[in-house]
Structure 1
């Protein structure tokens, strides 16, 4: 469940802030954009949260990926992380592997990013205790718009699954709205604030037990660039519903260390590096 502000996105936001008001395009020496740019990245987080919910039972996780960007604006990549049994299924492989691709451009000073992403959990197709489909694999299309420090992104669920919440029913059309503000506040120090909303479409925004599932999630954080290592600190808090609490509950022994409050407010630190 790849976080929207990835390593490269944070770095780009910081670079944009550094360049703003410091030097004009006319002052900068022209540089040739390479035909293909390959950027691997690796990181460690004290807890892996996605849309406000812990994906690794409130434990640390190693993550990493590789992005390939073409000068025409097209890009593709992959990203992986360790996850818990609750995320991938009690019989899953405790891994998330995302594949994504899209196109970035600029229209009237507004950045445009359109693409698709598939969130894959190896072993989840037989991840339930009875070896049935855990319905974790999820596919989304997205559209992102950015202007200055602000980025707004909408994600649309293409398939029936929505991260093991459907019980085999159809949650296609579920939407996620993401507004992020990011600004450099001191040399190499970037502050960011995020607000997101999950608009769940199954059973009129309810999950399988009939309780309302749609909810809002928020986080605020700082990222410091220390010689190419991005050191992050972020606080997450949510406006969860009864359905969200029912869904994000891993108290059963089948789900690793049995955390029941995967939606609880939490503080996360991270170290990320791109090459």
Structure 2
């Protein structure tokens, strides 16, 4: 995992060095420890601790790229313990408080015994800022598995240090077309973000879960 992170940092730094001649570029990072890595309402770490982190490159022209990784545990024959995502896209604003975001993301499982785990998605989203509240929605399409996923989120900032959000997502096509939900709050203190969140979905045999995450921007 350290090698993957190092390679990503070097690549992003090279891009930044080239791009600064024409546009302002910002490189940032993040790290987190969570009691359970949830993705679309399903545990990716067997309801166990997961270490996560990533790097992002953004330009004032609206283009961005990044990488993010997490420890995982699928409890299957793939023996995969690591997920590494690579993504790039373009976002901007229009009208009064409206935003858009389009891009692609590749999900890689480099230590998996099953090469078929890797896949990619293309996505497009819209958002609306309403003062202390923000609402957003996104569609994600996976061409290989022929899945279409839609999600919507509403966030409210009660202060500079505390906010709450609720989200709902559903597979409109593929993966049994289940729907998932989450609701929680985030408190920021001394540079750390503390998030407590409840997850659930309506798939057969699903169990709800409460997840605590502590994260920090770098």
1:81 alignment partner, one of 58, 65, 70: 70
The answer for the alignment partner of 2:18 in structure 1 is none
Local SS of the residue matching 2:30: strand
User: Aligned partners of 2:25 and 2:182: how far apart in 1?
Assistant: 33
2:27 alignment partner, one of 19, 26, 38: 38
1:116 alignment partner, one of 96, 104, 108: 104
Distance change (3 Å), C-alpha of 1:177 and 1:91:
closer
User: Aligned partners of 1:46 and 1:265: how far apart in 2?
Assistant: 14
1:85 CA displacement: 3.7
Q: 1:1-275 maps to which residues of 2 (within 5 A)?
A: 35-86=24-75, 90-109=77-96, 110-124=98-112, 126-127=113-114, 133=115, 135-148=116-129, 149-158=134-143, 160=144, 171-172=145-146, 174-201=147-174, 213-240=176-203, 242=204, 245=205, 263-275=206-218
Q: Is the 8 A contact 1:83 1:96 kept in 2?
A: yes
Larger strand share, 1 or 2: 2
1:91 CA displacement: 3.7
Q: Deviations over 1:137-175 (max 9, x none)?
A: 1210001100021010110112x2xxxxxxxxxx22x11
1:52 CA displacement: 0.4
Q: Is the 8 A contact 1:92 1:121 kept in 2?
A: no
- Name the structure, 1 or 2, with higher relative contact order (CA <8 Å, separation 6+): 1
Q: Point out the structure with max Rg over C-alpha.
A: 1
Q: TM-score, normalised by structure 2?
A: 0.83
The answer for the alignment partner of 1:10 in structure 2 is none
Instruction: For structure 2, list consecutive stretches of 5 or more residues without a partner in the other structure.
Output: 1-22
Q: Deviations over 1:26-78 (max 9, x none)?
A: xxxxxxxx711001110000000100000001101000000000110100000
1:200 CA displacement: 2.9
Q: TM-score, normalised by structure 1?
A: 0.66
1:90 CA displacement: 2.6
1:187 CA displacement: 4.0
Local SS of the residue matching 1:186: coil
User: Aligned partners of 2:216 and 2:77: how far apart in 1?
Assistant: 31
1:199 CA displacement: 2.1
